[in-house]
Structures are given as C-alpha cells and as structure tokens.
C-alpha cells in the first residue's frame, strides 16, 4: 500500500533575538533589523509536521493522533515560554532563526520512530513568516515564505486587498541562520511591488488592459526573480480571497 501523508499542527510560545555577539551593533542592526532589538521579542509559534506511513488496516490511521500529539507536546515542553537565546543550549552557538529552530525540532522529532517517517516540518513565527524543511532537501537547506499585502483597484472596481506570499529556497547561512536577507527582501518587495501597486489601478500600474490573478502572480515573479538577495525565488502565491489564490513559479 502506498504511503499516506498526515499533517498535524500545534502551538507553542517562545521569545528570541537575532544577534551575533562578535558583530558590532551597526552590523547586527543592518543584518537583522528590528529582530535585533534587545532583549528580544515573542511569538505564538505554529508548528506543522507532516509524517508518512502506511494506513494500519486495524485502526485506519497512519499514526495514532493521540500518540502524535503527546510526542509533540513532550518535545515542545522544552521550548514553550522560554527565551530561546538564554534558556536553551541549542542556541548558544547559533541564532534562533525560524530556520535554525526548525532544524533543532526536526532532529528531535525524527528520532521518534513511532510517529511515522517525518517528511516535512513548517514553523510559522506568525502569519507573515514561515520556514519549511523537507526530508527530500535535507537539513542544510530550507524554504522561507514571507507574506506582504497591498490594496489596489482591480478591473475598475473598488480597492481590493491582495496578499502576496514570496517563497525563497536555498542553503541556510552558517553565520546568520537565514536562507535570505529578510531585511533586504522586505525592501525589495516594498520598492518593486508594494510601492508601485498600492492604491493604484493595476491595469495602469502594469500597463495592460486587464489584470487576472494569474497575470498578477507572474508580474510579481518577474519583478523580483533576478534580484532576490540570497537563495532562489521558489514560488509566488497571490491570494485574492479566502477561496481563491494563484501560484506561479517560473
């Protein structure tokens, strides 16, 4: 029987700070932006794990959901309501970025063989930032997805708010613990997407008689693909409403 994938989400709270003690204040600030603010900041993290396995003919399940939840709670107990920089040994020599936290959690969960084979781990700092690891790619690379929003006139109608998710894939930098420079990525998307589109008629902004969601997703891709600060642009997702979204990868 083919393997079936099961996804499970669970929350925990923790605080962290992006900071390298051997760097001066100016370099830390330029590299990490507001994430470098002392003493740090907190998140209600959302951890999503994907495990694979064959369906047990007796239970009809890949893994017992109660057992999986117990394992997740046991692993996250060490992290919950902690300052990751100060309270946990894993981040004495590495910055607790989303990518590095995800790697630590992967190692802990991958050792739990009774919960199935770990295929994917997604760690959401919040609705605007997520880091993904996969068994296929390995633990030295990750994908980071950042959400942006703008409001623009669409097809001559009233202003419509679009959410744009930009995913960048690449190796996790040993020094910064990041796949890409988030500060630079934010600036890039602001200058090339948000500023030109905000409050405007998209037909005028894009110099085209009609703008579909598909067209907009490709337009976002084309405007940033060659200048992503590090890593490679993996996916652009444009969300028009809770029921309708468009994805493009060139």
Residue pair 217/247 in contact (Cβ under 8 Å)? The answer is yes
Distance of CA 212 to the CA centre of its chain: 26
CA angle 211, 216, 220 (to 5 degrees): 150
- Choose, from 19, 35, 43, 99, the residue flagged as catalytic: 35
Q: Which of 212, 198, 207 is nearest to 244 (CA)?
A: 212
- 249 is a catalytic site residue: no
The torsion angle over the Cα atoms of residues 121, 46, 125 and 239, rounded to 10 degrees, is: 90
- 81 is a catalytic site residue: yes
What is the rounded distance in angstroms from the CA atom of residue 58 to the CA atom of residue 123? 32
- 19 is a catalytic site residue: no
Give the count of alpha carbons within 13 A of 222, CB side only.
Answer: 7
What is the rounded distance in angstroms from the CA atom of residue 8 to the CA atom of residue 66? 11
- Choose, from 81, 155, 175, 249, the residue flagged as catalytic: 81
- Choose, from 19, 43, 99, 125, the residue flagged as catalytic: 125
Active site residues: 35, 81, 125
């Amino acid at each position: 029987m083919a393997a079936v994938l099961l996804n499970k989400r669970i929350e925990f709270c923790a605080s962290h700070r992006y900071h390298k003690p051997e760097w001066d204040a100016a370099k830390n600030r330029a590299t990490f932006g507001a994430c470098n603010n002392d003493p740090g900041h907190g998140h209600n993290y959302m951890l999503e794990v994907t495990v694979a396995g064959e369906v047990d003919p007796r239970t009809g399940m890949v893994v017992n959901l109660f057992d999986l939840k117990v394992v997740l709670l046991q692993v996250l107990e060490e992290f919950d309501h902690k300052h990751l920089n100060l309270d946990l040994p894993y981040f004495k020599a590495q910055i607790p970025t989303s990518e590095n936290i995800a790697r630590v959690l992967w190692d802990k969960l991958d050792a739990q063989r009774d919960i199935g084979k770990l295929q994917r781990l997604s760690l959401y700092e919040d609705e605007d930032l997520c880091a993904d690891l996969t068994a296929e790619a390995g633990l030295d690379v990750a994908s980071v997805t950042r959400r942006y929003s703008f409001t623009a006139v669409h097809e001559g109608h009233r202003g419509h708010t679009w959410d744009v998710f930009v995913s960048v894939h690449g190796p996790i930098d040993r020094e910064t613990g990041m796949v890409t420079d988030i500060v630079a990525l934010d600036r890039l998307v602001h200058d090339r997407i948000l500023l030109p589109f905000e409050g405007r008629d998209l037909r005028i902004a894009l110099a085209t008689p009609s703008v579909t969601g598909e067209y907009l997703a490709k337009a976002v891709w084309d405007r940033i693909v060659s200048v992503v600060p590090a890593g490679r642009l993996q996916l652009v997702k444009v969300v028009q409403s809770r029921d309708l979204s468009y994805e493009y990868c060139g």
